[in-house]
Structure 1
Amino acid sequence: MLNRDTLSKEHEELEALANKLLVEVDAVSPGKDLSSLRWRLTHVLMVHLAKEDKVLYPRLLARPETRTVAKRFAEEMGDLGEAYKVYTAAWPIDRVEADWPGFGEATRKMMAALRRRIAREERDLYPRICESAPVVPSYAATNASIAPCKM
């Protein structure tokens, strides 16, 4: 079962991981935990985005009262996953070590985009979860559904 609390907790974890990564890139050189931190952030983000894309957005798009805001979010912010994939592909560990300042700059930009999306979803999108009645997700490959809000 997927609900707003679950999605918000994932946002909290993403924020914490982003903060750790930003501390890491402020160091003089890469730390020993950089690779595992990057892997964890990537994993949590990709799983979270998949939940939104395959469960949350189809549900919100199916409801007349949430369709407009969900469509706007999907159009304006739907490219974060792709941008993150480009970022990670552009920065293999050998390039990170060779251009630590460049990696720091790219990371700060990527984490800023992630934080903007999280803030907007928490403020403008996630409250809409409570407005929409349960709907079977249109994505047939998932067994997940969204639980009604606890609010």
Structure 2
Amino acid sequence: MSNLDQFFAEHRRLRECTAEMAAIARRLDPPGVEELNDARWRFSRTLLRTLTLKDRMVYPRLRLHADPAARAVAERFCQSTTADYERFAAHTKRFPPDVVVRDWRAYAVAVRLRTAELVDRLDREERELFPLLDDAPRLASMPFSQGTNWAADAWRIRALLGMDAADDRAA
């Protein structure tokens, strides 16, 4: 499996997790906290891995593309990633599990909005960004080309969702 094959597989997993969260958000009543937190963690973990892989495998190649228009498209997507992630991080902070339980409808609406935005983003990437990789220079994976350690936020999200406490109880 090439590096990009790994990335594209992760992109497909992110679509699956996004669909799972959208389906949960369409429920009239909230699922159990454990079920929801597990789904939120799967989504968050997959999003963070995808961002890391994109930062290591996609943007570095496109920054070296011979076509200035291709480099500009890549830079536009790269810059918007930060703003998109800030909205996601604010969403997770706004909706810890106790708030979700108290205000399911507000959470469900917010999830439907965020998932629709993400599906739109994934569609645009696949349509506008990924085809540019065909003519981009081949590179090995580069560590944190944008200088962002996307996975660092995983610890905050795990703690917010009580994932480590659940692991401790299972041990």
- Please report the TM-score for the alignment, with normalisation by the length of structure 1: 0.82
Name the aligned partner's letter for residue 104 of structure 1: A
Task: Quote the offset at 1:109 in angstroms.
Answer: 0.9
Task: Quote the offset at 1:84 in angstroms.
Answer: 1.1
Q: Does 1:122 align with 2:126?
A: yes
* 2:3 match: secondary structure: coil
Task: Quote the offset at 1:102 in angstroms.
Answer: 0.2
Q: Does 1:97 align with 2:101?
A: yes
Task: Quote the offset at 1:29 in angstroms.
Answer: 2.2
Task: Quote the offset at 1:125 in angstroms.
Answer: 0.6
Identity among equivalent positions (%) equals 28
Q: Which residue of 1 aligns with 2:12?
A: 12
Name the aligned partner's letter for residue 57 of structure 2: V
| CA-to-aligned-CA distance 1:10-66 (integer Å, 9 cap, x gap) | 222112211121221222322131110000000000111011123321221122323
Alignment of 1:23-42 (within 5 A): 23-32=23-32, 33-42=35-44
* 2:79 match: secondary structure: helix
Pick one of 35, 43, 49 that aligns with 1:47: 49
Task: Quote the offset at 1:2 in angstroms.
Answer: 1.4
CA distance in 2, matches of 1:136, 1:27: 43
Runs of 4+ in 1 over 6 A off after TM superposition: none
Q: More helix per residue: 1 or 2?
A: 2
CA distance in 1, matches of 2:59, 2:107: 32
CA distance in 1, matches of 2:87, 2:55: 15
How many residues align structurally? 140
CA distance in 2, matches of 1:11, 1:86: 22
Alpha-carbon RMSD: 2.0
* 2:135 match: secondary structure: coil
- Please report the TM-score for the alignment, with normalisation by the length of structure 2: 0.73
The gaps in structure 2 that reach 5 residues or longer are 146-171
Moved more, 45-54 or 99-108: 45-54
The gaps in structure 1 that reach 5 residues or longer are 142-151
- The 8 Å contact of residues 14 and 50 in structure 2, kept in 1 or not, is answered as no
- The 8 Å contact of residues 21 and 40 in structure 2, kept in 1 or not, is answered as yes
